[in-house]
Amino acid sequence: MVTARAATVTDELTSAVRPRLARSVATLILLFLAALLALGVGAAVGSVTIDWHDLVSYLISGRAHDPTTTVLLGEIRMPRVITAGAVGAGLAIAGLLMQTLFANPLADPYILGVSSGASLGVALITLGTGTLTGGFVSMVGGMRIGVVVAAAIGSAAVLLLILVIGRWVRSVVTLLIIGVMLSSAVGAITSLLLAFADPDRLQRFVMWGLGSYGGVTRSDLAVLLPLIIGAVALSGLLARSLNAMLLGELYARSMGVRSGVVRAVAMVLTAVIAGTVTAYCGPIAFLGMAVPHLARLVIGTSDHRVLMPATILMGVIASSVCSVLAQLPGDDAVLPINVTSALVGAPVVIMVLLRSRRLAGAV
């Protein structure tokens, strides 16, 4: 009797579970194809439109039909497209980590102040004329690498500070508030520098702050890609613990999750991603906060084992689309990424959230 009941129950169960899994896999495949398409369009569109024959032959043989296109693809388009994809995937995953960790749908990769640390670093190097930074500025200030290094040091410093503080703070809500406070305080120092800055130098800082994928070269990618791919891959190890965290930190701990470890790992990964992105592309706002919401709506679950791949692919798509929209067709001018992502992205996200109110606003 009991076994008979168990058997029918199992039948019902498999019939309930299988379609859900099948649907998730189908959605992921579609997202993957969409991501490829978005990357392809990203490579084709720009000051010169490259037709897809050229693109395919470049991808297969490493050269397009004419040398100019080969160079254009190899030196400009490919780095930009790969950067857009990596940045999108990285920021989206980092945003998801923070939203789940803090159980807060408004959290983003910069919530702990990592970008304000980077901004301060860059502000010091681009605006700094004082005796302290003067030497360093005259040494590397003219070079891009100076900006990258300064941003990396700035974000690492803020991360270190928040990790140290985090050791004494039990509640994630308190940690979140401390992150926001720290961010404001560091931002204030940057503002102070801006107030006394020479307008020419100010221009450079403002341009950096608007965000761009265009400045990343092939040699930059050798650093940027491994860092972001590594951090994104490692975040996959947290998937099961993050699922448990959805019930709240206490429940997670009661299930054997070492919440302190998960918290520290998630914070380090997020800071590595946000710090790397900010260093090379400037603070790219918006994507990290918005993409996880889109991914949840598309995949329809908060199960991180499915949601994480969906978020990565959705990040690639969103970031590539923003990058394409930033290219004014037939013109060399490129809009800052933060302009397109927020101007186009915000209405899209608002519309999607309003249309599916049932799922909206969850973590």
Partner 1 sequence: MHPGLRLEQVAAGYRQHRVERRIVDDVDAFAPAGQVTALLGPNGAGKSTLIRSLVGLQPLLAGSVTLTGADGRGSDLLQLSPRERARRTAVVLTERVEAGLLTGREVVELGRHPYLGLLGRLTNHDRQLIAGVLADLQATDLAGQRFAELSDGQRQRLLLARALVSEPELLVLDEPSAFLDVGARVDLLALLGRIARDRRITVLLSTHEVELALRMVDRLWLIHDHRVSTGAPAQLVDDGRIGRVFGTRHAHFDAPSGTFRVRT
Q: Which residues bind partner 1 (CB under 8 A)?
A: 5-6, 9-10, 12-14, 16-17, 100, 103, 237, 239-240, 243-244, 246-248, 250-251, 253-258, 296, 300-303, 305, 358-359, 362-363
Residue 74 or 236 having the CB closest to partner 1:
236
Instruction: Report whether 272 contacts 278 (CB < 8 A).
Output: no
Least distance CB 174 / partner 1 (angstroms): 14
Cβ proximity to partner 1: between 302 and 340 the closer is 302
Cβ closer to partner 1: 9 or 354?
A: 9
User: Whole-number minimum distance, CB 176 to partner 1, in Å?
Assistant: 16
In DSSP notation, 137-194 reads: HHHHTTSHHHHHHHHHHHHHHHHHHHHHHHTT---HHHHHHHHHHHHHHHHHHHHHHH
Beta-bridge partner residues of 334: 327
Report in angstroms how near the CB of residue 358 gets to partner 1 at its nearest: 8
Q: Toward partner 1, which CB reaches closer, 25 or 132? A: 25
Q: How many CA atoms lie within 13 A of 282 on its CB side?
A: 19
8 Å CB contact between 319 and 85: yes
Residue with the two structure tokens 């397109």: 340
CA distance 277 to 202: 21
CA–CA separation, 134 vs 201, rounded Å?
13
> C-beta of 311: minimal distance to partner 1 in Å?
13
| Residue 77 vs 296, nearer CB to partner 1 | 296
